[in-house]
Amino acid sequence: MKRLAGLMAAVILLTGTAWAAEPEMETEPVDEDVPESVFDETAIPTTAEGLDIPAPSAILMEKETGTVLFEKNADERLRPASVTKVMTILLIVEAVDSGALKLTDTITCSAYAAGMGGSQVFLEEGEQMPLSEMLKCIVVASANDAAVAVAEHMAGSEQAFAAMMNDRARELGMSNTHFTNCTGLMDDPEHLTTARDIAIMSRELIRHDWIKEYTTIWMDSIRDGEFGLSNTNKLVRYYEGATGLKTGYTSSAGHCLSATAQRDGVEYIAVVLHCDTSADRFESAKTLLSYAFGAYTVVSPQPTEVLPPIPVTLGRADYVQPVLGGEPKLLVRKSDAGALETTVELSEALTAPVEAGSVVGTMTVKLAGETLSETPIIAPDAVARITWWDVMRRMLGMMFCGNE
């Protein structure tokens, strides 16, 4: 069985087409031809008003700030198909980063997991793989059998894992989402989410940079090269800076995609749902991402002058050197980046004791009179109040050593 499956995958790898072995109504057609012209960026609108995409539901979000640049029916509850696996992958990644799982852990496939339909890597009951290989199968090949095998390893059952998914969704503020499984394979009428909620969980996932080692794979293999994997996300191959993330399709969900891309240190998330064709979803995601890259930039405003030290009365130190209490990041139109106005307000003097982290001023950034951000300026170190003994010691020093 595995040898036959491996031969099938090898043929598909040679043709450059993403494979799937599931029934026609439950997976992306393997013979769908998406022309490279879909990924052309020569005629991208420069304003949100000019965006006209075929996706019925969509959203465009910047990763660092979470700013939404475009939305279209973004809160309509729809079936996400295999884009569901963004949450599955997120829980796996978080478990690895917390130390609860290791990428070298052995995952054993159950009879239930082996019986999953749809996109799969044809795991057999009792077959074992390290988590790293299972994760690659989930991310690249959208393998339902691998997803369920890992879910059972983590939670005992797919149902219990789905409860974990819903708990995490609530923590992230995904208020219109309910998961009933970890794959999105079944067209369960209660398994619903929105473009906005998918963007939220996608943003959380790509905060873990190492997952991009998997999400940017175009072609790979498992079982010592005997079984080929090909990514259904054509952006990974054809779109500059693509970092992922996940495609999905069922007959009722339509063609779905959570797409991420990074250029010049800025990363965006474009989610499109319920598209009529695969070409429509890639065209929609490409248009949104390219619009963002062309029109916007992320800036980190700084004070226009060096912050002066602030004198401290009755302190063991005479001054504190103020610093910014954080690194502000603002998403602005490229045409506005040079028009930002930065002002600083600082306390003229402080009285000890001064606690570390105390707010001693504010840096304000404005654009055309509108306040975009206010960043606290803090005292980085504590300054204790002077004691009577400190006073006496200073007086004695002045008496015997002079006031130099």
Residues marked active site are found at 82, 85, 142
Give the contacts of 267 (CB within 8 A, at least 6 positions apart). 62, 63, 64, 206, 243, 260, 261
Q: Which residues are within 8 A (CB) of 362 and not within 5 positions of it... i.e. 6 or more apart?
A: 344, 345, 374, 375, 376, 377
Pick from 141, 28, 37: which is nearest to 85 by CA? 141
Only one residue has tokens 């004691």, namely 387
* Contact (CB, 8 A) for 345 and 359: no
Helix (H) or strand (E) holding 375: strand 370-378
CA distances from 3 to 36, 44, 263, 344 (A): 32, 46, 41, 68
Residue 195 backbone dihedrals phi, psi, to 5 degrees:
-60, -40
Cβ contact 289:261 at 8 Å = yes
With the CA atoms of 302, 203, 177 and 162 taken in that order, what torsion angle do they form, in degrees rounded to the nearest 10? -130
Whole-number Å distance between alpha carbons of 309 and 311: 7
Neighbours of 130 (CB within 10 A): 14
